[in-house]
Amino acid sequence: MTFSRPLASALALGLAAGIAAPAAAQTLNVAWSQDATGLDPHTQTAFASIRLLELLYEPLVRLGPNLEIQPAVAESWEFSEDATTLTFNLDPDATFHDGSPVTAADVKASFERILDEATGASARANYTSITAIETPDDQTVVFQLDGPNVPILNGMASINAAIVPASAIEAGTVGTEVMGSGPFTLDARTPNANASLTAFDGWHGGDIAYDGIEVSVLPDETAILASLRAGQADFALLSDPLVATLVPREDSLQLNTAPTLSYHVLQLNASRDPMGELAVRQAISCALDRQDILDAALLGEGEVTGPLTSPAYRNDPSTLFCYEQDQDRARELLAEAGYEDGFSATIMAANGEPPTAAAEAQLIQSQLAEVGIDLTIEMQEMNVYIDSWLAGDFDMAVALNGGRADPYTMYNRYWTEDGNLQGVANYIDDTLDNLMQEGRVETDEAVRKEIFAEFERHLAEMAPWVWLYTGYTYTAQREGVDGFEATPTGSLFGLVDVTLSE
């Protein structure tokens, strides 16, 4: 069962495609566990969809390995002095997969589609401050904003703001036919099974050193590990630290870890008693040993974090409220709130999403039991969990929530008065709302940092949620696969720089 794989499968691929396989055809075999749920870049939100679409489509700008803004369809950009106008100059070499150039008209049509409520674009809220889109010439796009808005540039560095051809929008084929300007074209795809990508010759970002990518969707991470070991996969994405830490046991495999923006969190529902009591929430925060949960559930693979997870804004969490476990203090706080004998509540977690959820729930249950809080675990299927989560129908929830490079885009949905996920956050006060609004309009980086540091301190002290830690994203590769650079967003865009030897 240990045949030499890469050659055989490259051959097989050639046969399947009905072409005589040239000896030098180099295919990168990639495995991941969750498939894209759809192909419309504007409406897809699942991480699994985004990482595939990032190889096919391009936004105006994208985030680099250190979350710095990099050119994509646009080669340069500029805010006006008062940050109310944002101008992009498009890359004249950028073309769609059919060879037609990417023009200002395509950008305008794409944003109009995103802003059209009927589209159901997932990131629409990030762009509603756009009041007009002007196209003085084919290479220039000017966005007029309703006020100063610096985070909008970060918000545009998302595949949810991908540029699609105006003609495809008109024909209504966005989402059914892939026509992007990204580094790969999509040749074939069987949902939940596989996808074939071919490197796009005309990509304006440069040449890709191999011919294409063959993706297999293997729902089980141990199977991904097995396929790496057997040489069936050259490159894989892993999310379960229990599996990822086994990768280096094989000499021919290399594990890449990158810190993520997404954070593991214990969400408390402050609209329900007794979590409505500040002292009770604080007691829960004090009762938990974050490092210990991290050590057991993720085998220590991660870092304890406060609410801010983006490297540019991240602070030393040890200065935050009760980040050192202090069970005596927890008991005092409980007594203060009138719960000296503790209380009972339920804690919900999703089956397998993240893979560590069940373990986290059990560790939290065990640690809170020590201060008299009696939790009942409710494991739910992902979509039942999401229903309850959206409706705010839970006492406590174990969650892995996605992060963004900018704290405002990351948290405005939860911690502002009219955030569209306020019903999930279930807590808001004036301080939080004010700090968020200040952060939105502030253009000075240093001042913004201080504003969000204050926001973080306040959030940790009010403890509507108990932030635990961030994990890593893992990619694994076989010997001979070089040049991939991981990013905190978990993007696989770095695959364009990969070289294959052998």
Partner 1 sequence: MAVLRALLRHTSGQIGVVVIAVFAVAAVLGLLGLTPHDPLAQDRLARLQGPGATYWMGTDLFGRDILSRLMVGIGQSFAVALLSVGLAAGAGTVLGLTAAWFGKLWDGAVMRAMDVLLAFPAILLALLIVAILGPGLVTSVVAIAIVYTPIFTRVVRGPALSLKTRSFVDAARTFGSSRRYILIRHLLTNLVAPLTVQITLALAWALLTEAALSFLGLGTQPPSPSLGLMLSDSRNLMETAPWMLIFPALVIMLSVLGFNLLGDALRDVFDPRTRRALA
Partner 2 sequence: MSYVLRRLLMFPVVMLGVSVFVFVAIRLVPGDAITAMLGTESGLLTPAQRESLTAYFGLDQNWAVQYWRWLTGLLQGDLGLSVTYGQPVSRIIIDRFPLTLELALLSMVIALMIGLPAGVFAATRVERPSDLIVRVFAMIGQSTPNFVLALLAIYILSVVFGILPTMGRFVPLTEDPLGNLAQMILPAIALGTAFAAAVTRISRAAMLDILGEDYVRTARSKGFSQRYVIWRHALPNALIPVITLSGVEFGYLLGGAVIVEQIFALPGLGRVVLDAILQRDYALVQGVVLFIAFNFLLVNLLVDLAYAALDPRIRYGAS
- The residue within the footprint of partner 1, chosen from 377, 450, 457, 497 (CB under 8 A), is 377
Closer to partner 1 by Cβ: residue 6 or 355: 355
- How far apart are CB 233 and partner 2 at their closest, in Å? 6
Binding-site partner at residue 7 among partner 1, partner 2, none, CB < 5 to 8 Å by type: none
- The residue within the footprint of partner 1, chosen from 140, 173, 315, 365 (CB under 8 A), is 365
- How far apart are CB 251 and partner 2 at their closest, in Å? 13
Rounded Cα–Cα distance for residues 352 and 331 (Å): 32
238 binds partner 1 (CB under 8 A): no
**At a CB cut-off of 8 Å and minimum separation 6, what does 316 contact?**
none
- The residue within the footprint of partner 1, chosen from 366, 420, 443, 499 (CB under 8 A), is 366
The DSSP-derived string for 74-103 is EEEEEE-TTSSEEEEEE-TT-B-TTSPBP-
Closer to partner 1 by Cβ: residue 395 or 406: 395
Q: Write down the H helix ranges in 382-429.
A: 382-390, 407-411, 422-425
Binding-site partner at residue 447 among partner 2, partner 1, none, CB < 5 to 8 Å by type: none
Binding-site partner at residue 346 among partner 1, partner 2, none, CB < 5 to 8 Å by type: none
378 binds partner 1 (CB under 8 A): yes
Burial class for 152, CB neighbours closer than 10 Å (0-12, 13-18, 19+):
buried
Per-residue x/- marks for partner 1, 266-305, CB under 8 A?
A: --------------------------x---xx--------
- How far apart are CB 295 and partner 1 at their closest, in Å? 8
Closer to partner 2 by Cβ: residue 171 or 390: 390
Rounded Cα–Cα distance for residues 164 and 172 (Å): 11
Q: Is-contact 245 299, C-beta < 8 A?
A: yes
Angle at 287 between CA 286 and CA 291, to 5 degrees: 85
Closer to partner 1 by Cβ: residue 66 or 222: 222
- How far apart are CB 303 and partner 2 at their closest, in Å? 24
Residues in the chain: 502
258 binds partner 1 (CB under 8 A): no
Rounded Cα–Cα distance for residues 404 and 205 (Å): 24
Strand, helix or coil for residue 172: coil
> What is the contact surface with partner 2 in residues (CB under 8 A)?
1-3, 8-9, 12, 15-16, 29, 31, 37-38, 45-46, 117-118, 120, 122, 124-125, 190-194, 214, 216, 218-220, 223-224, 226-227, 229-230, 232-233, 381-384, 386-387, 389-390, 420-421, 423-424
**At a CB cut-off of 8 Å and minimum separation 6, what does 500 contact?**
26, 28, 209, 210, 234, 480, 481
- Residue 142: its H or E element: strand 140-145
Rounded Cα–Cα distance for residues 67 and 407 (Å): 13
Q: Is-contact 108 102, C-beta < 8 A?
A: no
Rounded Cα–Cα distance for residues 409 and 395 (Å): 26
Closer to partner 2 by Cβ: residue 69 or 421: 421
Candidates 126-134, 148-156, 197-205, 377-385: pick the segment binding partner 1 (CB under 8 A): 377-385
Q: Is-contact 15 25, C-beta < 8 A?
A: no
**Which positions lie near partner 1, rule CB under 8 A?**
220-222, 240, 242-243, 246, 249, 292, 296-297, 351-352, 355, 358-359, 361-363, 365-366, 377-379, 381
